[in-house]
Amino acid sequence: MREISYMEALREAIRQAMEKDERVFVIGEDIGIYGGAFGVTAGLLDQFGTQRIIDTPISEAGIAGACVGAAVTGMRPIGEIQFSDFVVLSMEQLVMQGAKMRFMFGGKAKLPFVMRLASGSGTGAAAQHSESLENWFVHVPGLKVVMPSSPYDAKGLLLSSLAENNPVMFFEHKLLYKTKGPVPEEMYTIPLGQSHVVREGSHLTIIAMSVMVMRAQQAAETLAKEGIEVEIIDPRTLKPLDMDPIIKSVIKTGKVLIVHEAVKTGGFGGEISAAIMESEAFAYLDAPVHRLAGLDMPIPYNRILEYHSVPQVENIIEEARKLVKGAY
């Protein structure tokens, strides 16, 4: 199978969805002539024109409001927020309106839009352009939250999100855009709410999200040389969350490490931990559930400080060793 980048996989999903359904359009800042802040929409303006690839003023509230209004009147918009941090400017449109309309109208209104957000640190973009805010939206009934970690998942999950009749918050980590992997040329979907066992193991379960899946895999390779076999599970969609593979893995290994880039306080790791504790897997735990997450601080501009503010491969290795060897 051919290999393409995460960025190219997203672009292909958007192009195929637009070719299939004339109701699909893209709206955001610099997505047309410039091709998007990270190049995802490059070339789409030439194919689809300014009526379907719509450059906007610098107004995240305007982008989100246009998506809500267009979706409820029958279109299927894709909004792009250049940096996920700026989504705070569109909370009224997304949370007060988009998330609630279908419920408030007794299911008669449909809100089929996807909001794409470039998320995470690692590019030296400092405190206002590097946050991981996905859990804010997990907390909101009516919104679905997706975080693909590979090119294959990026395309399949985006196409599934575009087929939804509910709003989807689609978080794309900036460091993943250039990563490559096998992706089919044809259209395919990955159902929302289906966790993926990335690697099988017997000594420790690592539940990782977004770029942390890649780092967990790198850590697992090192740990395997020491005789520690790690099982890695990627939820892929935070809402709806598929707990079945996680529970089965915890029953098998008895030890759990949850890894995400967002700050620990109020992060999604706490939700997974609570779900494990409330499940049958609790009785099989040989140690407390551990979370490895970003520090409770704004992301620093200094590249060295930035590096140490979120989990890295060596941190995952260290935490895994401690858990497996009973050092806690």
- Here the CATH number for the domain that contains residue 177 is 3.40.50.970
Would you say residue 302 lies in a domain?
Answer: yes
Same domain, 19 and 96: yes
Block residue for tokens 């992301």: 299
Q: Kindly compute the dihedral angle of the four CA atoms of residues 81, 84, 85, 86, in this order, to the nearest 10 degrees.
A: 10
User: Do 210 and 162 share a structural domain?
Assistant: no
Q: Are residues 150 and 36 in the same domain?
A: yes
> Are residues 149 and 28 part of one domain?
yes
What CATH number does the domain containing 272 carry?
A: 3.40.50.920
Q: Write out pLDDT tens, residues 162-171.
A: 999 999 999 9
Neighbours of 2 (CB within 10 A): 8
Q: Tell whether 165 is covered by a domain.
A: yes
289 falls within a domain: yes
| Same domain flag for 165 and 57 | yes
Q: Which of 129, 173, 203, 290 is catalytic?
A: 129
CA 134, 7, 11, 13 dihedral sign is negative
Cβ atoms 151, 6 nearer than 8 A: yes
Residue at 328 is within a domain: no
Instruction: Write phi, then psi, for 257 (nearest 5 degrees).
Output: -125, 125
Copy the structure tokens of residue 65: 């409001």
pTM of the model: 0.97
Q: What is the 3-state secondary structure (H, E, C) of 73-99?
A: CCCEEEEEECCHHHHHHHHHHHHHHHC
User: Same structural domain for residues 144 and 58?
Assistant: yes
* Distance between CA atoms of residues 100 and 109, nearest Å: 10
148, 182, 216 - which closes a domain? 182
Same domain for 207 and 244, yes or no, is yes
| Residue whose tokens read 């420790």 | 204
CA-wise closest residue to 227 among 326, 325, 319, 311: 325
Whether residue 134 sits in one domain with residue 217: no
Q: How far apart are CA 260 and CA 253, in angstroms?
A: 20
**Residues 249 and 295 reside in one and the same domain:** yes
> Residue 148 to residues 19, 74, 145, 158, 317: CA-CA distances in angstroms?
23, 27, 10, 9, 23
141-163 tens-digit pLDDT: 999 999 999 999 999 999 999 99
> Are 138 and 145 within 8 A, CB to CB?
yes
Give CA angle at 39 (38, 45), nearest 5°. 140
Which structural domain range is residue 213 located in?
Answer: 196-323
Clarify whether 196 is annotated catalytic: no
Q: Is there a domain that residue 187 lies in?
A: no
Asked if residue 301 belongs to a domain, the reply is yes
Q: Cβ distance 249 to 233 under 8 Å?
A: yes
Last residue of a domain, one of 182, 210, 230: 182
Length of the chain: 328
Contact 249, 231 (CB under 8 A): yes
C-alpha dihedral over 215, 221, 226, 227, to 10 degrees? 110
Of 139, 157, 182, the domain-final residue: 182
Residuewise pLDDT in 10s, the chain (328 residues): 899 999 999 999 999 999 999 999 999 999 999 999 999 999 999 999 999 999 999 999 999 999 999 999 999 999 999 999 999 999 999 999 999 999 999 999 999 999 999 999 999 999 999 999 999 999 999 999 999 999 999 999 999 999 999 999 999 999 999 999 999 999 999 999 999 999 999 999 999 999 999 999 999 999 999 999 999 999 999 999 999 999 999 999 999 999 999 999 999 999 999 999 999 999 999 999 999 999 999 999 999 999 999 999 999 999 999 999 987 6
49, 126: one domain: yes
Return d(Cα 309, Cα 243) in angstroms, integer.
28
Q: Terminus-to-terminus CA distance in the chain, angstroms? A: 44
Residue with tokens 């140490």: 308
Give the number of domains in the chain.
2
Residues 137, 210 within the same domain: no
- Residue 190 counted as domain residue: no
- Examine residue 191 and state whether it is found in any structural domain, yes or no: no
Q: Are residues 214 and 78 in the same domain?
A: no
**What strands lie across the sheet with 290-294, from one edge to the other?**
196-199, 230-234, 204-208, 256-263, 290-294
